[in-house]
Amino acid sequence: MGNIKLDTAQISRRHFLGGAAGLTFVISIGPKGTWLVADAAAKAPEYAIGAWVRITPDNQLTIITPAAEMGQGSMTGVPIALAEELDADWSTVTLEMAPADPATFGYNRRGGKVMRITGSRAIRSYFEQMRLAGAQVRKVLLQAAAEEWGVDASTLVTEPNTVVDRLNKRKLSYGEIASFATVPAAMPTVSTDELKKVSEFRLIGNPVPRADIPAKVDGSAKFSIDVQLPGMVYASTVHAPVQLAEPESWNDSEVRRIPGVIDVVRLDKGVAIVADTFEHVLAARRVLAVDWKKGAPAEGYDSEKALEQDYMAMAMDRQSPRRSVAETGDVTNAFASAVKVYKADFRSDYCYHAQMEPLNAVARFNAAGDKVEIWEGTQSPGGSRAAIADALEFEFEQVIHHQMYMGGAFGRRSITDYTIETALIARATKRPVKMIWTREEDLAFAMFRPQNLQCLEAALDDDGKIAGWRHCVIGDGDRLITSGINIEDYYTIPNRLIEQLGASHGIRLKHWRAVAHPFNIFAIESLVDEIAADQGLDPLEFRRKRLAMTPKAEAVFDAVEKLSNWHTPRPDGRALGLSVTERSGSLGAGVVEISLDRERGRIRVHKVWAAIDGGIIVQPDMARANVESGIVYGLSSVLKERATIKNGAVVQSNFHDYQVLKMSEAPEEIHVEFLDRETSPTGLGEIGNPFIGAAVANAFHALTGKRLYHMPFTPERVRAALQT
């Protein structure tokens, strides 16, 4: 495992191709997708070209990694797929972060090319394309060795970084080959059936340490907040308490009298203070008083009132415009002929990403003002670069983009509003600027996971099977409240109606890890558990007997049953809860073991077991870490996280009143098992998250006989539930 270079803007094509001895494989994006081509072909202008792999005579390999790193390990995991098919010796590999150039380094998505790493997409989107590229390079090396030895390439095999001629007992390292070979004018083609079988993998499935970890234990990993530039000044933006209100005026001369203040810049939705040091920025922030324009859409908005009253009124009103998300079978008839109908309503509050690194960026213009260099951590390097160019009325090429490590992202960083602000401030101030939102600002101007109400109904037929299913979700955010609402990946209920009722509050909303899955699955799997209990069946038995499960679902339930010893009684005061979820192509079932402090209303999750079908697991330990992380992140929102809006303004301001899970509240044990599969990898960054809500609520019912209908399960809500 090699070093890693993060200074992405340095990896221009010229840098990669220029001078270096050895073999450089460049990539061509043609109509058939991504193919490696020879350098000569690469020079043809009709191709979008970038470098992908370089092999130098000292037997060192450089692989470009296109996946933004936010802690999920993809910057290592994605190039492993290429290294696997290339039969690379991983210890000779250096990774270089790809520049923000989606035309070259993007994956195929909806007819275009993007580098956006959202929806747990890194491994699953790049896997095949990286493998094919690796196999192509290997073919070139085999052919070059065959020519050198005067044998047929089909008689040769590879071992890590080595071509082996077993018949004649000789070897050439990839480095040796690179010292004499040239990249052929036409690269060999490779089809998917020429790729390795799972049993032939050397790297995939075997532990490869993450490339970014060493720098994350000695403080040397660079986040954008760490960037230092000569002559750099500091900035911070103040946004309106009422989200998205625009500044009218402010006490400009007073602010400018604060020592060190250089500039006060008007932005569309805020006022930015620029000063020589960050402590001076903070001092000026305390003095700045802004009059905000009236009329922002969020004005007067009260989130608790909306959630407790308005949403239900909308749900009751037959005239409310509903959007059908999915409809199958004859739902009306299923309910009309039902032996029993179950109904339940569930609520979830706003959640904040709370990525550990407050949003920030660094920007520097050239003297002529027609080029800007950007340092930021983004989930969407290409999209961000384009958005920055757009905001500055620049061409894409006028923005030089340096991708940095992200101190957490969780969906927040695929929109680049913070970097656009930074660029505008740097342009106004004519100096290199490091702009940091304070934690308070990051929260006040947050983009939330929307709050919502869910109304569910299930119809039981005379076999006791669930034959009808209605689910309506009410809230703001359109698709941000509907993901995960379809159950067909795990249950096949014949008659279903899934609907959405939209509200609009003027509050900034965004994809939050697993988007709407956490609250939709909470509602779905809570109701299933409620019916099981009413029918006097073990929740697992109920699902097996009364819900037609998909084979994939059966398999994960079987696995988690064993893993958790589901049928073994727990000590007094402990209970288990069960739930399933799909996300990003993966399917998982999970069990939690909880206890309860009844007086204080505190639920404690001691142990978690999760069984997941994620296809081929490229890196088991990284995959496990992703699931562990999803579980803790999910549990945090299930037990604690809650943002509220009063009069259009976010009430909470920092980690004292927007609390996230601490170590003492985290599970003591997390056991993750991946099913042994040979299917393509699916997403794992969010699969650990959505099942936790229902699993905890169902365990709570097993322990107390009471149900929880509102996330998070705060002490007040827990105590109230105990009193029902």
Partner 1 sequence: MIKLRVNGKSVAVAAEPDTPLLWAIREHLKLTGTKYGCGAGHCGACVVHVDGRAVKSCQLSLSRAAGSDVTTIEGLSPDASHPLQKAWIAEQVPQCGYCQSGQIMKAVELLEKNPHPSRDQIVRHMDSVICRCGTYTRIVSAIQRAAGEV
Contacting positions for partner 1 (CB under 8 A): 70-73, 209-210, 212-223, 225-226, 228, 234, 277-279, 282, 354-358, 405-410, 436, 438-439, 621-622, 625, 628-633, 636, 654-656, 660-664, 666-670
Nearer to ligand FES, 225 or 459 (CB): 225
Q: Which stretches of 331-378 are assigned E, i.e. beta strand?
A: 340-348, 360-365, 372-376
Q: How many CB atoms lie within 10 A of CB 240?
A: 24
Q: Is 266 exposed, middle or buried (0-12, 13-18, 19+ CB in 10 A)?
A: middle
Nearer to partner 1, 74 or 451 (CB): 74
Which two structure tokens, joined as six digits, stand for 629?
Answer: 């992380």
CB-CB contact of 405 with 6 (8 Å) = yes
Nearer to partner 1, 119 or 175 (CB): 119
Min dist CB 408 to ligand FES, Å, is 5
Binds 388, which of ligand FES, partner 1, none (CB < 5 to 8 A, cut-off by type)?
Answer: none
Min dist CB 244 to ligand FES, Å, is 27
Closest among 594, 595, 584 to 630, alpha carbons compared = 584
Q: Which residues bind ligand FES (CB under 6 A)?
A: 71, 356, 408
Nearer to partner 1, 200 or 668 (CB): 668
Length in residues, the chain: 724
Min dist CB 629 to partner 1, Å, is 4
For 29, 30, 39, 42, 310, the CA distances from 46, given in Å and listed in that order, are: 10, 9, 13, 9, 57
Binds 358, which of ligand FES, partner 1, none (CB < 5 to 8 A, cut-off by type)?
Answer: partner 1
Min dist CB 282 to partner 1, Å, is 8
Min dist CB 475 to ligand FES, Å, is 28
CA distance 437 to 422: 10
Min dist CB 356 to partner 1, Å, is 4
CA distance 407 to 225: 9
Q: 638: which residues sit within 8 A by CB, 6+ positions away?
A: 518, 522, 692, 693, 696, 711, 712, 713
CA distance 424 to 389: 11
Binds 495, which of partner 1, ligand FES, none (CB < 5 to 8 A, cut-off by type)?
Answer: none
Residue nearest ligand FES, Cβ-based: 356
Binds 134, which of ligand FES, partner 1, none (CB < 5 to 8 A, cut-off by type)?
Answer: none
Place of tokens 């270096």: 20
Binds 218, which of partner 1, ligand FES, none (CB < 5 to 8 A, cut-off by type)?
Answer: partner 1
Binds 697, which of ligand FES, partner 1, none (CB < 5 to 8 A, cut-off by type)?
Answer: none
Min dist CB 358 to ligand FES, Å, is 9
Which residue type sits at 491? Answer: Y
Q: 141: which residues sit within 8 A by CB, 6+ positions away?
A: 55, 158, 163, 174, 177, 181
Nearer to ligand FES, 442 or 613 (CB): 442
Nearer to ligand FES, 408 or 577 (CB): 408
CB-CB contact of 559 with 589 (8 Å) = yes
Min dist CB 21 to ligand FES, Å, is 39
Place of tokens 């059936």: 193
In three-state secondary structure terms, 356 is coil
Nearer to ligand FES, 382 or 408 (CB): 408
Nearer to ligand FES, 197 or 286 (CB): 286
